[in-house]
Chains A and B, each alone.
Chain A
Amino acid sequence: KQEVTQIPAALSVPEGENLVLNCSFTDSAIYNLQWFRQDPGKGLTSLLLIQSSQREQTSGRLNASLDKSSGRSTLYIAASQPGDSATYLCASNIMDTGRRALTFGSGTRLQVQP
């Protein structure tokens, strides 16, 4: 059974700081790993998807890396802005025939102080 853990649970940083969010997973036989953003009371917005064969993906100020052997992924946010304040969730699905469900971590709640 896949278990996904995110550390820290909450993070507060001043505007402009670079930061790293961590995600670890127990089963390395994954199809891919996704990072999502969730604003309070809202649904999830997909940020980045890293395929199992990839090491990293970049979109704007966001960079996500994947190390399957160690069961870790990181989301790097450069030059943080108050608009980045949200909960960030990572999720993976495992290479199990017929199983496509994502297993989520509990998220990191980020607050960027102006």
Chain B
Amino acid sequence: DTGVSQNPRHKITKRGQNVTFRCDPISEHNRLYWYRQTLGQGPEFLTYFQNEAQLEKSRLLSDRFSAERPKGSFSTLEIQRTEQGDSAMYLCASSSGTGNQETQYFGPGTRLLVL
């Protein structure tokens, strides 16, 4: 078990292009989260999966954003028609446990720069 992994670690793209990020959670964890973090701020929640079901989405997740977890293992986050305001660190976390014993473990993040 090597923890939560994310790929790519860095992505530079031009405005209007589509990008896709991948997250591989800790193998026995059934919950997976996506957060976005901008400079000087704490992470903000985007969406959450339990197994393959997407159970919660933030209002931050506009129509240009889509996330999938097709087999309840890895997840992808796609941003279509990127805008400069999408530049941020995209963090993935996974967890197990219930209620007040749930600890979220974070990956290293994917840093996106939209030119």
Contacts and interface: CB of A to CB of B under 8 A. Distances in A.
Contacts of A51: 100-101
A93 B33 CA distance: 13
Interface residues of A, number: 28
A31 B97 CA distance: 12
Contacts of A100: 31, 33, 48, 56, 95, 102
Contacts of A31: 99-100, 102
Contacts, number: 68
Contacts of B104: 34, 46, 102
B56 A99 contact: yes
A89 B43 CA distance: 9
B25 interface: no
Dominant SS at the A interface?
strand
Nearest to B47: A101
B109 A42 contact: yes
A103 interface: yes
A106 B55 contact: no
Given A43-B4, A100-B102, A107-B41, 15 more contacts: A32-B100, A36-B106, A43-B91, A43-B108, A44-B91, A44-B106, A51-B100, A98-B56, A100-B56, A101-B48, A102-B35, A102-B43, A102-B104, A103-B45, A106-B42
Interface of A: 4, 31-32, 34, 36, 41-46, 49, 51-53, 89, 91, 93, 98-107
13 contacts: A31-B100, A32-B101, A34-B104, A42-B109, A46-B106, A51-B101, A53-B100, A98-B55, A100-B102, A101-B33, A104-B42, A106-B40, A107-B41
